[in-house]
Amino acid sequence: MSNQSNTLKVGMIFISMIYFIFGFVTTFIITLSDPVMEAFDLTYTEGFLVNSAFFISYALFSIPSGGVVKRIGYKNSIVVGLGLISLAGFLFFPALRTESYPFFLGAIVVLSLGVVLLQTAANPFVSELGPPETSSGRLNLTMALNSIATWIAPLMIVFLILPAAIPAIADGINGVAGVGIRPSDLLPPFMIIAVIVLLIAIAVRLIKLPVISQEGAGNYATVFKYRHVLLGAFAIFCYVGAEVGIGTAISSYVVQPGLGGGISRELAIKFVGLYWAGAMIGRLFGAISLSNIRKKELKLTFAGLVMIWAFIVGYITLEFNAMMALTFFGFAVVNYGLMQLGQGKANLVLSVFAVVAIIMAVTSMVSTGKVALWSIVSIGMFNSIMFPNIFALAIKGLDRSEVALAAGVINTLIVGGAVIPFLMGIVGDAFNIQYSFIVPVLCYIYIVYFALVGSKLKPMGETAAPGPVS
- pLDDT for the residue 171: 46
Please give the model's pTM, rounded to 2 decimal places.
Answer: 0.76
Express each pLDDT in 91-108 by its tens digit.
999 999 999 999 999 999
Express each pLDDT in 214-228 by its tens digit.
565 556 677 778 889
Q: Model confidence at 463, in pLDDT bands (50, 70, 90)?
A: very low
Domain residue spans in the chain?
1-212, 218-470
Evaluate if residue 211 carries a pLDDT over 90.
no
Q: Model confidence at 80, in pLDDT bands (50, 70, 90)?
A: very high
- pLDDT for the residue 337: 92
Evaluate if residue 5 carries a pLDDT over 70.
no
More confident residue, 166 or 390: 390
Express each pLDDT in 115-131 by its tens digit.
999 888 887 777 666 66
- pLDDT for the residue 466: 39
Evaluate if residue 268 carries a pLDDT over 70.
yes
* Domain 218-470: which CATH number of 3.40.630.30, 1.20.1250.20, 3.10.450.350, 3.40.50.2300: 1.20.1250.20
3-state secondary structure the chain: CHHHHHHHHHHHHHHHHHHHHHHHHHHHHHHCHHHHHHHHCCCHHHHCHHHHHHHHHHHHHHHHHHHHHHHHCHHHHHHHHHHHHHHHHHHHHHHHHCCCHHHHHHHHHHHHHHHHHHHHHHHHHHHHCCCHHHHHHHHHHHHHHHHHHHHHHHHHHHHHCHHHHHHHHHHHHCCCCCCCCCHHHHHHHHHHHHHHHHHHHHHHHHCCCCCCCCCCCCCHHHHCCEHHHHHHHHHHHHHHHHHHHHHHHHHHHHCCCCCCCCCCHHHHHHHHHHHHHHHHHHHHHHHHHCCCCCCHHHHHHHHHHHHHHHHHHHHHHCCCCHHHHHHHHHHHHHHHHHHHHHCCCHHHHHHHHHHHHHHHHHHHHHCCHHHHHHHHHCHHHHHCCHHHHHHHHHCCCCCHHHHHHHHHHHHHHHHHHHHHHHHHHHHHHHCCHHHHHHHHHHHHHHHHHHHHHHCCCCECCCCCCCCCCC
For the chain, the average pLDDT equals: 81
Least trusted range by pLDDT, from 64-73, 162-171, 276-285: 162-171
Evaluate if residue 47 carries a pLDDT over 80.
no
What CATH number was assigned to the domain covering residues 1-212?
1.20.1250.20
Q: Do domains 1-212 and 218-470 have the same CATH topology?
A: yes
Evaluate if residue 352 carries a pLDDT over 80.
yes
